[in-house]
Amino acid sequence: MAGFWTTAYYPGYEQNSGMPASAIDYSAVTHIIHFVVTPNPDGTLNSSVNGLTVNNSTDLITRAHALGVKVLFCVGGAGSEGDFQGATSSTNLSIFINNLTNFMTTRGYDGIDLDWEPFPSTDAPQYTNFVNSLRFALNQFAQPKLLTAAVEAYPPYGDSPTAEYTMFAAIQNQFDQLNIMTYDLSGAYDGWVTWFNSPIYDGGYRFPSSGGLVPSIDAAVNNFITNGLTPAKLAIGIPFYGYVWTGGTGSSASSITQPRQSWINAPTVTAYRYTDLMAGYYQPNLYQWDANAQSAYLSITNANPINNAFISYDDARACQAKVSYVRNHKLGGVMIFELAQDHTSGQPDPLLQAIKQALATPGRTNLQRSGNDINLMFTSIALGSYRVQWRNDFTSGIWNTLLTTNIPGAGGPLLIKDAGALTNQPVRFYRIQTPP
């Protein structure tokens, strides 16, 4: 898909153990963000603590550039707000920007990714000044440099409901990508229910305690767009990890095993990488797909309720659904956090490959006339969904749906017949969408 980016975070601390740079499928990504350099309040940088050594930078960048993939480094991370506040103060801002651009050029990176977390609206003026100043510095290079940011899907609890979105709308042209962190959308909080880590839709479900809609990717995206963000500037996040909900007592005296359950005693929620979930928990008979939320989960019920669990995670089908969502909403791409959580040495990386295959389909569609019928053939992906539409005027008129189909099994060549398409019709145009 032209212009579609697949940006993947890749931690330096995984590079020497869990996933060497030689194991990355560079054909499956357009950008890699080397994670993470931490800022110090005085404007200096700390790179070695998270594995962004000179050797690791060189190894990754050399391999990526050989295959046309851009590499940025990330500055920030969870809990970095205080450090950013100091580094971007009027006293330290120029020092900080100089250190960032020097690190970028010395190591050979193609740009910088900002991850200021948490981000309350009170930080907006300082953040805006920092972004404008950094963009100006990056524009001084003869070779264009990239500026991207990881942005929170929802504002912090109790903060202004729109300030974050309107701020990013005002400075969106300073960025090449704004990657929404559409994960960690649930937890065992007061007044909550069991919910998914990264659901596309809320399914119309509301919190019993407040009446508000549960979080979703679609709601977050709409918040950005309705407040002025251009869709093509945005990507949604795909987590290569999930959450295991255990313990707790449900409101009906049952333990936690399903989404949308309230509780009397709060459950424990623990993050696991995808590979560990598959090795430690997955069984085909436990698998569930929530069509309303467009999300996968495991529901575990044991004779001893203490071992029951609700496990929310992204599988290959969820990844494909998210690629479809981005395409159909004309967003810029997807962001992955993070590559090593999907990786097992000597084996394919199933989630990354699902994204790669989803982007490769439906690809080229062959059309053949048979009398007044039209036969359409294209390659489908396993568990993919496709909507075939037609109209008689290419430039105007509504699109009519010929069929919507879900693909079982492994996918492959798909033949669709439009019977009688050309009866009393001299011409017909087609398009293929990948819902939801």
pLDDT score at 3: 78
The yes-or-no verdict on residue 8 having pLDDT over 90 is yes
Task: Please give the residue that has the higher pLDDT: either 160 or 433.
Answer: 160
Task: Write the pLDDT tens digit of every residue in 263-281.
Answer: 988 899 999 999 999 999 9
Considering the chain, what is the average pLDDT of its residues? 92
User: What average pLDDT does the segment 363-390 reach?
Assistant: 84
pLDDT score at 254: 66
DSSP-derived 3-state class of residue 419 = coil
pLDDT score at 435: 64
Instruction: Say how far apart CA 101 and CA 184 lie, in whole Å.
Output: 31
Task: Write the pLDDT tens digit of every residue in 232-249.
Answer: 999 999 999 999 999 877
DSSP-derived 3-state class of residue 79 = coil
Task: Write the pLDDT tens digit of every residue in 294-332.
Answer: 999 999 998 777 789 999 999 999 998 899 899 889 999
Pairing of strands 241-246, 309-313: antiparallel
Please give the domain boundaries of the chain with CATH numbers for all domains. 5-181+230-239+315-358 (3.20.20.80), 363-433 (2.60.40)
Q: Is 258 exposed, middle or buried (0-12, 13-18, 19+ CB in 10 A)?
A: middle
pLDDT score at 1: 44
pLDDT score at 383: 62
pLDDT band at 436 (very low <50, low <70, confident <90, very high): low
Task: Write the pLDDT tens digit of every residue in 206-242.
Answer: 999 999 999 999 999 999 999 999 999 999 999 999 9
The answer to whether 31 touches 203, Cβ cutoff 8 Å, is: no
The yes-or-no verdict on residue 140 having pLDDT over 80 is yes
Instruction: Say how far apart CA 19 and CA 366 lie, in whole Å.
Output: 40
- Find the range with the poorest average confidence among 135-144, 354-363, 403-412, 426-435: 403-412
The alpha helices in 81-230, defined as continuous H runs, are: 81-87, 93-107, 124-138, 163-171, 217-226
The yes-or-no verdict on residue 252 having pLDDT over 80 is no
Task: Write the pLDDT tens digit of every residue in 174-192.
Answer: 999 999 999 999 999 999 9
